Structure 1
Amino acid sequence: MVRHKEDALANVLRIFENPKYASIVSNLSKLVVLLGELKVDELKYLLDKLNSGLQEAAVTDDSVKTSYFDLIKAVNNPDINRSLTMLLAFLKGMGR
């Protein structure tokens, strides 16, 4: 394929000229633009936090029930309060 790269590229382009693949090419170009707009450092920070939450959730005991009083007390926990604040800020930004 490396030796015949011009022929291979021509064949690939010929395949994508087919109308049934037109939407794929269009969506692919839009996806590339979208990826360019992502703020990778902020996304990495958020995904790191998400992974920490998933690890914590994986070790919880499913048999333990949370009462309304437990929820009210949990808001005073700095970690939970920080997460709730982040979630509310995310929802506010998403709603704009």
Structure 2
Amino acid sequence: MAKPITAIQKRQMTEEERRAEALAKLKVAVGDSEEAVRELLEFIEQLHESGLLEAANALLKAREDVAKIVVGQLNQKSVTTMINHAFAIAGLAASLDPEKTAKLLEHMAAGVIEAYEQTAIETKKVGVFDLLKALNDPDTNRAIRFFLSALKAIGQRLGQNS
């Protein structure tokens, strides 16, 4: 009669067996995604030919020095001020109604282009009476009313902050 098994010994793979198994798994993975591997190799070849691969390797080797330079540049007052401005502008843009903003910018762009084209044609000097006549033009009056309303709203906000 056989002896009962009291302990199971786990088979330990040698380093060579581990490498052979890893290589076999890698061959299966490459075979499963052959097209992706070909594209990756082509991409790497293009990086190498353009010199970008060498530059990226140099950048990685000097990463500590590069990080110190980047952090030093980011700590400059002008850079932090610019970042603060970017956040303020982003906050302002987020608070605006996109449809109204798009419509306003579209009208302003079209108006500026039309004005540019008209000033190329008309070279007559604008006088005081021309300005007074322009006030009677409904389109001009509408634009003046818009800018006066904007100036008033800005002035009110400025008065609140003082």
Calculate the TM-score normalised by the size of structure 2. Answer: 0.42
Match for 2:91 among 28, 33, 49?
A: 33
Gapped runs of 5+ residues in structure 2?
1-62, 157-162
Q: Tell me how far apart the structure 2 counterparts of residues 42 and 80 of structure 1 sit (CA, whole Å).
A: 21
1:18 corresponding residue in structure 2:
71
**1:92 equivalent in structure 2:** 152
Q: Identity percentage over the alignment?
A: 27
Q: Specify which of 101, 107, 130 is matched with residue 49 of structure 1.
A: 107
Give me the whole-angstrom Cα distance separating, in 1, the residues matched to 2:102 and 2:137: 25
Q: CA deviation digits over 1:6-44, x for unaligned, max 9?
A: xxxxx8xx67x8253152655554444333223322221
Note closer, same or farther for the CA distance 1:20–1:31 as it changes in structure 2 (3 Å cut): farther
- Uncovered stretches (5+) of structure 1, i.e. residues with no partner: 1-10
- Cα distance in 2 for partners of 1:42, 1:57 equals 22
Change (3 A) 1:21 1:53: same
Give the length in aligned residue pairs: 85
Structure 2 Cα separation of the partners of residues 52 and 25 of structure 1: 31
1:71 aligns with 131
